[in-house]
Structure 1
């Protein structure tokens, strides 16, 4: 089963100030600007094995870091920039429409950097439901508790996306319930598109303009998505994080995704667990409690840690960034710059270790 990684990293200068990627995006066709100037995205090609995925990811990052050295730039593995100047969006018609529909809440998205894992479509309903059930694993990669200097949650990015950015359109940005069929999932997408289109027209955007820039496939920003373009099932819940941590999560989630092709997947009970014989997903209301704790408490929640262990994760093997930088109610701009430089250096060392191994 093919799989791939996409990760967004903040770009800073030698002083830790946010800056644009500029020539960094010339490194390869798999590196590109994101929708705000200080972010860029690195994508791996689809890979058949985890070993190939690891090699592609590390080698591409190493190339980007070498080019960053030449440009006096650094890459920062935080889910948010912690604090800093206001971030503006690159001007696009799509962004303009979203801002008209979502209002000022849409601005929260400008401060979020994440990791996306793609898995080739096979048993699509089981894949969708399993990734929904694994959503609390976002806690494994929580990498910033701060939004514009203020502490908001163990996983600030997930909180901002799900609770703030799409507060007025929760079904467009929050976790969806398990699906019975692909057709049911697609009908949900159609309804979300219709809702968005109506809201855009009410906000003064003509329907033809909406149709030119949005489709049911790309009108939602839910943590689990079906992607026709790839075609993959995508899990987009976790923060940007250190590469070794992303790879650990990718390997363990890939193992579960491979197993579901050879075993039974069912929803039932409150505990959940992965065994040789079956994958059991907890009822959705229970799952939602785990997800909320993953966002607000991270791995410090015994319930979340226990659940993830039952679902096949070696929780003790993870070392998320949030607990290391947490503890302050407010982080100043200068302190944020220091943190960004500190963790940019950690990212560099992390990639060096991965290359040696």
Structure 2
């Protein structure tokens, strides 16, 4: 720790809070801010007009609104950060989203404040996958320029997986010595095995005797839900009493509904829609297995360790963070590929012999050993130590 009081003075910039805007990035941002604030002074700058529920020890700053253009939001974040830096001392700027991080990073560099950025994925590449046309091309080109500018301002980077380290180095030309891998984590207080699964199922109005397979994803193409449904129609023929629950919202919903009708899966697949923060742990507790069928750009997969913390075994495509998590735990839980055939074969293999699945205690123990927010925060603080001490040594 840098200060005599035993903590850092951190300004953290992110997208939003998951209670206001669902998503893995926001879940990560909220979780790491809450953990860091236990030992440090932390100001969290988010772009939302609403105040989320947060511990009193975190100072939440609401800047702008999602109704404003991205460029307007970016400018507001820069002006607000400049004012904050002028009003109070800051040891380190901790950035989590390039469009909102670039302005504050510029202001931090002017004042000699070290900048640490967490790279949550290639924003531009994610945009490209989900759109097309000239207008979309122009939008992604501008997005790439924002990313390149933001990443040029950071002293250190944190990534959640080897996959994203390689993308950051190869596509954005960030030197490897600036990049540190710190995996994500699960809130092990929220996500835990059920005391009585039958009671949880009754509460959610789910059948008591069925085998329930769960996935919770944004309904977009790269999440692999079309491939999962294609695989599930073969699984449902052999195991008609098994149910697939798909949580989440997004532009793919109508296509998924059409596929469910086409495949005759109305009794074996249920689209849950958006699953609230309150209900998400319950759906984990009610289920027998979790599936992550991602096709591309799975940076870490908070959902994987959240499911495992709940005692749920996870099967996943061998993509990004899911591959890294499961290959170090139970590699046989990885599908042989990303297509529907590989997903089908993997599911039928496991469901034919449930003894191949790890038990609740084994899943949770692995998370408690390797993937807690306390462990993440300690590693992040080590990075802060490095940049703050380097600044002190340079006499800035």
Q: TM-score, normalised by structure 1?
A: 0.29
Q: Which has the higher contact order (CA 8 A, sep 6+)?
A: 1
Larger Rg computed on CA atoms: 2
